[in-house]
Structure 1
Amino acid sequence: MTPTPLTEVPWNSPCSPRCGFRIDAAKHIPAADIAAIEDRLTEPVYLYQEVIHGAGEPITPEEYTANGDVTEFRYGRDLAKIFDHEKLAHLRTFASVLPSEQAVVFTDNHDTQRHGDVLTHADGRTHELANAFMLAWPYGTPRVMSSYAFSDPDAGPPTAGSGITEDVDCSAAAWQCEHRQPRIANMVEFHNVVQGTGVTGWWDNGNDSIAFGRGDRGYLVLNDEDSALTGRSFHTSLPAGTYCDVFHGRVTATGCTGPTYTVNAAGWFRADVAAHDGVALHAGANVG
């Protein structure tokens, strides 16, 4: 029997380098078998594999990196541990086990938000701050969770009387829509703008206030203290200009819907940051 080439599977639109696959439960498929399937593809695709790390288990995420990217479940647990029980200052060298260029990272996903020690939408502002850090930090390929509310871990999404899943309505309490929350959604643009740059100008107060730049493309301040961070100036590598704080607003044709900050010729700007809040500036948000 001659196997059907995988390229004969019809696509809804012409394939491009953006085509790709997520392999669910890849851990239950030998890495060599996935490699054999991948070898039959005649066009380049993006591939990432769900491989959940389990302490002491014989199958590890590292076995699958030769095939493509791999989910790094340890990332969300380690990030939550720092936000919940340690100090944000410890994030200075934050990374997980997989190589950065092959790790798919997330604060939470549909499994861990039910059965894991991670931050979820139920953690409110802390969850937003953690996502902001993930999207600003140069480790892994970040993935943002978008979910629905639940009290029973086994509950499915909101459904109509017929049992059919209802259309998503981000104005309804049943749908969390984390990807639409401004402090997360705007940081996706930050992530895209700063790609390819390293961390510069790290600062922390030894506890739960941190700040760092991404080359001359962006700068993030996070204050997870119970009190405001006041009377401080921050040094960046951003060009001089007035920047929209995308943590609280977005760029419009006429300026910014939130506060703005002026970076002087020496790279300094002054900001007071409320408790459990932040400031995010990037080169694409220079409004004057």
Structure 2
Amino acid sequence: MVQRCNAVGVRVIVDVVVNHMAELGRSGYGSGGTTFNADQLDFPGVPYTSVDFTPQDLCPSADGIVGNNSDVYEVRNCYLLGLTDLYTSSYHVREQLAHYLNLLLDIGVMGFRVEAAKYVWPEDLEAILSLTNNLNTAEGFPSATRPFIYHQINDQGGEPISVNDYFGIGLTTEYRYSEKIAAGVDDFALLNYVYDSEEGMAPPYKALVFVDDHDNQRGYGSTGDVLTYKQIREYQMGVSFSLAYDYGVVRLMSSYDFDDNDQGPPDSSSSGATDTVPINADGSCGGGWICEHRWNSIVQMVMFRNVVAGTQVELWYQEDDNVAFSRGHLGFFAMSKSGSLDTVLQTGLPAGLYCELISSCTRNVTVDTDGTARITINDYQLPFIAFCVGCGTVTTPSPDQTTTVIPTTPMTTLPTTMTTTTIPTTTTPLTTESTTPPFGGKVKTVIFLYKQTNPGQDIFIIGGIDIAHRPGCTSDAESDVCALDITVNSLGTNVHYDRYNAWRAGDTKLDWYGAQAGQGTYNGQVASGTPLVWTTSNSGAPEYQELNTYGDSYWMVDMIMDCAQTDEGWFHFKAYLTNAGSGWEDDINQVSPCSGDVGGSEPYATVYHTARCGYLNVFEFSGSSCMVSDLP
């Protein structure tokens, strides 16, 4: 099955259980045909014996069962629901689990969803995953590509275990999003707050989000209401908004109908054999299968999301029960709770006639030369519209015309690319004189970023090559062609640099995804990317750096970088300030050419700082200035 799926571009992610084996009180034969006895901790088919399960003296609960989610040791060392807890600190257990994962990778799977990850110590998971192989190149994966990993963690806030404990080893599920999107569909004033960093929600590049999943659509694992297929209108609104919005990697649900929360999939023979899924003439499913992923509105919004990937929400409009926004200069989405909207809005898109996706291009939207368009919604059941650049032929009007008619052939082909949200970019080409790389191979590169900060704040950068300008980028830093190999150099050993030195350990990539697997932590705090350190030009201060000739508050990183991986000698980055609300820099409209004794013009415009490999680069947080100079 996996190989057939790979042959047509459908990748498989396996739901894996590494926390436990069978429940106490169970014995007999497993699905693989081997015997087991949970009470005796005997699983000879693996093999596991009593020494492979967490010692009971490490579990603080009286009965050995997880009962207090406020006790980290109880959650991670006791038996979840009586399930026999594997001792993942044991090298033998780690080897056995990695062997299982490697068998799946050899088959050709793309990655793993780690079930019940909060019940496993993060360092144990990191050790297990470090023993896994790269993806199988025989199944069409690029060489040296690491598995895609995300962890199932139900973090509702208020408990000591949170999603950020796992950011260094993959993405994390964000269950709070399901409740927030349900509340937002009920009250549109809440829609722009479905991601709230102040609540500890995972940042966009670490969050795996969903309107519902197999647990919370049945009322498990959520403290509030969630939308499901049973509220078809509101559910389509929630999923479509999620695919249009710029938060997280979106996972779609594909359900079967149920009345009882414990009801299994369609089984017309009552023999325990799941029925085949019948496909109707219109592409929908029958026989009790819901197949939300085949609904036309969701198919079209997946297309929209793929086109606008790498852009951010702009031109936010919310009035009463209506909401609209652009995704950079590539797409526009609008939704009306009443199903009735008729107003002129700024779209941010180039002028032309666009096919409206939800209607499968049986309607068009005209964008005028000033970027405005009349946005009309008059459908109560499908009260939203979307259009985007490239979703049909977009033409720029000549001076004596405002629109050009395009074909309205319905777009019903299922997209073949993964639905993801990536770090914001804008894609406005800029014609400049190209600058060739000054060096080949790995050379010293320095960045200074001016920012006055408060005690307790730190600055990190994410970056590499703008994903809109290099094809083939992935969401795995280790294999991403948009990520750059780096070695972050020491800047000293005084106590003021302890955080920088801790976070630079294991940071081998300038990438768009935050902390790498294996990157160092400081007092339990996970890095948010490649670290910078506060420096001064005052030679009497402990934070003095010789290369800083500019003054106080110039945050610095010193790297060895491979210029051959850059884009004509240039690369991009965006900064994040901790303990400062959202913390992200504003979009950058960088001055070109840069000043300095080297200077130079960026090869194309982006919303990031653009720096030169092999030189000393000076910028300002959220500022447009740039200076490029020779290193002494």
TM-score (norm 2): 0.41
Amino acid at match of 2:276: D
1:233–1:66 CA distance, 2 compared to 1 (3 A): same
Q: Deviations over 1:107-154 (max 9, x none)?
A: 000000001420000111111011111111111101111101111111
CA distance in 2, matches of 1:272, 1:218: 16
Structure 2: which amino acid aligns with 1:88?
A: F
Letter in 2 for 1:83: V
Q: Which residue of 2 aligns with 1:191?
A: 305
The structure with more helix, counted as a fraction of residues? 1
Contact 2:184 2:194 in 1 (8 A): no
1:244 has 2:355 as partner:
yes
Give the one of 89, 112, 121 matched to 1:30: 121
The structural deviation recorded for 1:93 is 4.1
Alpha-carbon distance in structure 2 between the residues aligned to 1:281 and 1:140: 21
How many pairs align? 272
Moved over 3 A (4+): 1-8, 54-58
2:272 to 163, 169, 179: 163
Tell me if 1:129 matches 2:129. Answer: no
Which stretch shows the higher mean deviation, 233-242 or 178-187?
233-242
Query: Tell me, what secondary structure is at the counterpart of 1:104?
Result: strand
Paired residues for 1:196-207 under 5 Å:
196-205=310-319, 207=320
User: Would the alpha carbon gap of residues 78 and 233 (structure 1) be closer, same or farther in structure 2, given more than 3 Å must change?
Assistant: same
How far does residue 55 in structure 1 lie from its aligned partner after superposition? 4.7
Structure 1's 262 and 57: CA in aligned 2 closer, same or farther, altered over 3 A?
same
1:163 and 1:284 map into 2 onto residues whose CA distance is 46
Aligned to 1:283: 389
1:227-255 residue CA offsets vs partner (Å, 9 max, x unmatched) = 5112x112112122221111221xxxxxx
Distance 1:8-1:203 versus aligned 2 partners, 3 A rule: closer
Output one character per residue of 1:130-188: Cα deviation in whole Å (capped at 9) or x when no partner.
Answer: 11111111111011111011111110110131220111234316111110111111101
- Aligned to 1:121, the other structure's residue is in SS state coil
Q: Tell me, what secondary structure is at the counterpart of 2:261?
A: coil
For residues 216-231 of structure 1, the aligned pairs below 5 Å read 216-225=329-338, 228-230=340-342
Alpha-carbon contact 1:242-1:286 (below 8 Å) kept: no
**1:56, 1:267 → 2: CA distance?**
45
* Paired letter, 2:170: G
1:99 aligns with 2:203: yes
- 2:171 corresponds to which letter in structure 1? D
Q: 2:188 is matched with which residue?
A: 88
Q: Work out the CA distance in 2 between the residues paired with 1:282 and 1:246.
A: 8
1:263 to 356, 361, 367: 367
- Secondary structure of 1:65's counterpart equals helix
Which residue, out of 52, 58, 69, partners 2:171? 69
> Would you say 1:213 and 2:326 are equivalent positions?
yes
**What displacement does 1:82 show?**
2.1
CA distance in 1, matches of 2:275, 2:355: 36
Q: Distance in 2 between matches of 1:175 and 1:216?
A: 38
Q: How many angstroms does 1:60 deviate by?
A: 2.2
Partner of residue 52 from structure 1, selected from 154, 162, 173: 154
**DSSP-derived class of the 1:11 partner:** helix
When the two chains are superposed, the root-mean-square deviation of aligned CA atoms in Å is 2.1
Q: Are the structure 2 counterparts of residues 11 and 61 from structure 1 closer, same or farther at C-alpha, using a change threshold of 3 Å?
A: same
CA contact (8 A) 1:273 1:279 kept: yes
- Deviation of residue 8 (structure 1)? 5.4
Identity %: 35
Matched residues in 2 for 1:217 and 1:8: separation? Answer: 40
Q: Which residue of 2 aligns with 1:12?
A: 107
Q: Per-residue deviation at 1:42?
A: 4.1
Q: CA deviation at 1:54?
A: 4.2
Cα pair 1:89 1:209 within 8 Å, conserved: no
3-state SS of paired residue (2:259) = coil
How far residue 98 of structure 1 moved from its aligned partner, in angstroms, is 0.9
- Structure 1 CA distance for aligned equivalents of residues 287 and 230 of structure 2: 12
Instruction: Say whether the 8 Å CA contact 2:177–2:194 is kept in structure 1.
Output: no
Higher RCO (C-alpha under 8 Å, 6+ residues apart)? 1
Contact 1:149 1:173 in 2 (8 A): no
**How far 1:283 sits from its partner (Å)?**
1.0
Q: In the alignment, residue 149 of structure 1 is paired with which amino acid?
A: D
Unaligned 5+ residue runs, structure 2?
Answer: 1-90, 135-145, 279-283, 394-405, 407-632
1:176 aligns with 2:290: yes
**Greater Rg, structure 1 or structure 2?**
2
What letter corresponds to residue 188 of structure 1 in structure 2?
V
